[in-house]
Amino acid sequence: MSDFTNTGIMVNGLDSVIAANTELSHVFGSDGKLVYCGYDIYELAGHASFEEVAYLLWKGHLPNREELDELNALLGANRELPQAVIEGLRQVSKDANPMDALRTGVSLLGAQSGTRFEGTPTFEEAVELAARFPAIAAAFYRLRQGLEPVQGRADLNTAQNFLYMMHGEEPTEGEWRGLDGYLVLLADHGLNASTFTARVIASTNSDICSCLVGAIGALKGPAHGGAPAKVMEMLNEIGSLDNVESWLTDALDKGQRLMGFGHRVYKAEDPRAEVLRGMAKQASTPEFFMLSKETEDKALAMLNERKPGRKLYTNVEFYSAAVLGAVGLPGDFFPVAFAVSRSVGWSAHVLEQVQVNRLIRPASHYVGPVPDKKFVPIEER
């Protein structure tokens, strides 16, 4: 009989297993740093637009004025949804999870496009999907309220268009700049679960729509993309400054997880959280920011006291809730905003994967019985 002992190295959750070479982004977890194509996130946040960051991830360098104008024109030309996609979204239940609607819309987009998405993924396809993610999300947002979708405008950027297509009116500068900053910070983040999913699908030589549909499915999971909504629920339950300490104490005594703290990779503060904290202070009402800050301070102190050595810090989800809420997104649309941003990173990884493609096919550790069983017909069982 063959030896069933697995001689490979089995790592639960694939922690520290290197599955791809990438030039796109990297998380330096122990230092609390995030890098996009050689740029520290602090160099980009508050300085580069989402469109500039998208170009950086797709092309490997920041665009000059001509290149940025060409990208904006291409994005503007792709914001109108095919009628078949809109009609498909009309059939989605109004109380469906918005991530399900987004996943359905992207799938319909691929299915209604003939053979256009059937070849090797291209830059032009990546741009088209980046333009249509917010259009699909906004269309569902309006349809579930009994309103007709609003057509995007070529003179507005991605953040402006997302809010405009949702609400039917131009956002204030404070609103769209807050969303634009959020989109920059969430555009890519190493080989996270959804990005890995997109690369696995790309490795099978599948189309780019299928890659991003799979990524949406991974991001939908509450362990990945749903945390900001849970943070908002937590803060709403706490309600006031007077209730912070007692609420947190009760939650920790019951063994509940405090949302917005700790990270699988970072062993220092998530750099995106630091930037978002400043954005939240500007975008939120003073009362809500004070509630958030008091909750953060008290939670970190309690976690440090109860779980010494765990290195639990504020993560990106905590202040994402404040920023996204301030720009007018309902809680169940927080993961959708995450997907709108990450669609750029996903497609950039797909383009990178297909350049030097090899089917991603890891081994598994078989822990079942050895093959000594004999088949018995059903009549004899």
Q: Which residues are catalytic?
A: 263, 317
Write the DSSP symbol of residue 28: E
Nearest to 105 by CA among 79, 118, 86, 121: 86
C-beta of residue 334 within 8 angstroms of C-beta of residue 281: no
Instruction: Quickly list H helices, the chain.
Output: 41-44, 50-59, 65-76, 83-90, 98-111, 123-143, 158-167, 173-186, 193-203, 208-220, 227-238, 244-253, 271-283, 286-306, 316-326, 334-355
Which of helix, strand or coil describes residue 34? strand
- Residue 326, both tokens: 């301030």
Which helix (H) or strand (E) is 39 found in, with range?
strand 39-40
Q: Taking the CB of residue 335, how many other CB atoms lie within 10 A of it? A: 26
Residues 6+ apart with CB under 8 A from 286: none
- Longest pairwise C-alpha distance within the chain: 77
- Residue 131, both tokens: 């333009």
State the Cα–Cα distance between residues 58 and 24, nearest whole angstrom.
Answer: 9
- Residue 321, both tokens: 């809730």
DSSP 136-171: HHHHHHHHTTT-------TTS-HHHHHHHHHHSSPP
State the Cα–Cα distance between residues 36 and 303, nearest whole angstrom.
Answer: 31
